[in-house]
Chains A and B, each alone.
Chain A
Amino acid sequence: MAHELNFLLVNVVNGLVYGSFLLLTSLGLSLVFGLGRVVNFAHGAFYALGGYVLISAMRLGFGYWLALAVVPLLLTGLGLSLEAGLIRRLRTRPEVDTLLATFGLSAMLVGGIEFLWGTGTTIVKPPLGFDGIVQLLSNDYPFYRFVAAGLSLSIAACLLAIVQWTPLGLRMRAVADDAEMAEAIGVDRVGLLGQVFGYAAGLAGFAGALGAPIFAVYPEMGLSILIDSFLVVVLGGLGSLKGSTIGALVVAVTKSIGGAYLADWSTALLFLIVASVLVVRPTGIFATGRTA
């Protein structure tokens, strides 16, 4: 019995750790959608690229933490230039065109990763001083997971605070609420979307790098988290940050517990949950009328 309980506890904690990463990617996805109606299929590729940039930076002799700081800078730059070169051109086209373009972009990035870094799986060691074990109700649990989860949760909290309490966030919320009205009162909507797209890419890359010592690095790593993030934002309501936050928690914990007891069937279970939510509320749990 105690053993059973321990098993459950470890899986709930694992789920919460994964959820903190899922939160970072989902918030980015949700923000970009809310602002520009852009569904970014390449978001997962940014996540994967984060892990690979970390590996390369460490091979160049950077320490883990320094490499971790370099990743979001590079990825933000990449995101900004891709938005300016590609996404912005499709702004006046139907929504699905950006979906298709980012889908192609995702294939290009993953293909590029396989070309530059190979198709294998790379394991990244946790940084020195953080590679220990802590006791979790008589279970050994890697200390780094707590550190990483804490870090990503605080960054997510900062992000939510920025959206809620800063002038930048105010503009973002204005555009998400009513883009035309926001433009009419002088918000540079195009520039803002470009900025947010870049930050979201940086955030996804950061999540990929931070998670590297936990989930390992491989070319397809972006896809699984992308699909989970899609589930999160559909569940929570496209464009709703509150929905994404709760959705990330639900998806990650369900996946972790389901994975422990149902093995490969857990994804099917997750989809059934999302499907039943959509049957009751087709726009997701927290979608507001206007952003739906």
Chain B
Amino acid sequence: MTLALAEIGRTASVRRSQVIAAILCAIAVAAVAAVPWVAKSFTVTLLTEAFVFAIWAMSLNLLSGHVGLLSFGHAAGFGLGGYAAGYFAREVTADLLASLLFAEAVVFVVAALAGAVATRLSGVAFSIVSLCIAQVLYQVAIAWRAVTEGMDGLLGVPLPRLLGVTIRNGAPFYWLVAGLMIATLGGLAVLLKSPFGATLRAIRITEVRAASIGIDVRLHKWLAFVISWMLAGVAGALMVFLKAGTTPMSLHWTESGNVLIMTILGGLGTVVGPMIGAVCFVFLRDFLTSAFAVWQFVFGLIFVILVIAFPSGLAGLPAQLRKLSWRSWS
């Protein structure tokens, strides 16, 4: 009897918390959608960039936070997707869907090959090889002048068209990016709740045991690698449309470091963390580069402090603070 009552109570509270969560989500989406009406156009541009980075950081989080493969070369999928989409939009058609499709096809082929090599490894060796892969793409972007125009970069990428309508910079492009970002967030949340997500977590916790209960570890690492790169490719393509071009710097290791810091700042292995991290990162960088001359130094310092003091990132901060009230600094 009491058990049944407790059960009813719990279902009710679960239902109530679900309703609250749904309301909060709706408010958040409405707030995101309303930004262009209330904010300055500069803020809208900054936020557009932040949301593109958010998609990218979420893609890294899938690989590094949930599967435990810490990539130091995540600029690879981003830069590659950007080059492919930009080239296609400039040379063939500026149709957004066609450009994205082409970019995704290119990213898939390269990710499938790179992933086949990289996912043979784990831990530190994976990190190093992922860095190497990105550096190779960086070198190729410099060397393959016929397509990439070398160090000058791919410039003059036209505005994208969706169903024949040109999407102008500012509010329209912001809405597009915000919509895709929210869709990515939702999609990843569903994916991580699915059996596939549970399998990925099992691999992160211990590869050997995951394998011993019959999980094809290599296959799942490879799948996560390819999905992660393809999501990064979407972000890269959006960034190229936002900036109307790209340079080899989009593949540089500092970019891989940037996305890593965004993800860690927000919280590796969480769901909303990377988005929070990306938004904080973009606004912090905007503030710091106008305030300090040496951004790189500050960037490194933030990195070190985060790793030492806040390993669970901003998303893990509430839990960490709660723990602090129980335990003093150890």
Residues in A lying within 8 Å of B, measured CB to CB: 33, 37, 39, 86, 89-90, 93, 95-97, 99-101, 103-112, 114-115, 223, 227, 230-231, 233-234, 238, 263-265, 267-268, 271, 274-275, 278-279, 282-283
Contact = CB atoms under 8 A, between A and B. Distances in A.
B84 interface: no
Contact of A99 (B121, B124, B139, B297): B124
Contact of A107 (B125, B299, B306): B299
B294 A107 contact: no
- In terms of DSSP, what is the predominant structure of the interface of chain A? helix
A22 to B, nearest CB: 15
Contact of A275 (B117, B124, B296, B307): B117
A101 B307 contact: yes
Contacts of A109: 300
24 contacts: A86-B308, A96-B124, A99-B70, A100-B70, A100-B260, A100-B264, A100-B303, A100-B307, A104-B299, A104-B300, A105-B304, A111-B296, A111-B300, A112-B294, A115-B297, A230-B131, A234-B132, A264-B142, A265-B139, A265-B143, A267-B139, A278-B117, A279-B120, A282-B125
A238 B125 contact: yes
Which of B296, B301, B307, B308 has the largest number of chain A CB atoms within 10 A? B307
B143 A97 contact: no
B179 interface: no
Nearest to A287: B125
B307 A97 contact: yes
Contacts of B300: 104-111
Nearest to A112: B297
Contacts of A93: 311
Which of B135, B294, B295 has the largest number of chain A CB atoms within 10 A? B135
Interface in B285-325: 293-304, 306-308, 311
Interface residues of B, number: 41
Interface string B104-136: 000000000000010011011101110111011
B307 A90 contact: yes
A274 B131 CA distance: 13
A231 to B, nearest CB: 6
B139 A104 contact: no
Contacts of A99: 70, 72, 124, 127
A222 to B, nearest CB: 12
Contact of A279 (B117, B131, B260, B302): B117
A101 B311 CA distance: 11
A233 B143 CA distance: 26
A223 B125 contact: no
A255 to B, nearest CB: 11
A267 B307 contact: no
What 7 A-B pairs have minimum CB-CB distances, sorted nearest first? A104-B303, A111-B297, A107-B300, A108-B300, A264-B143, A111-B296, A104-B304
Contacts of A90: 307-308
Contacts of A227: 131-132, 135
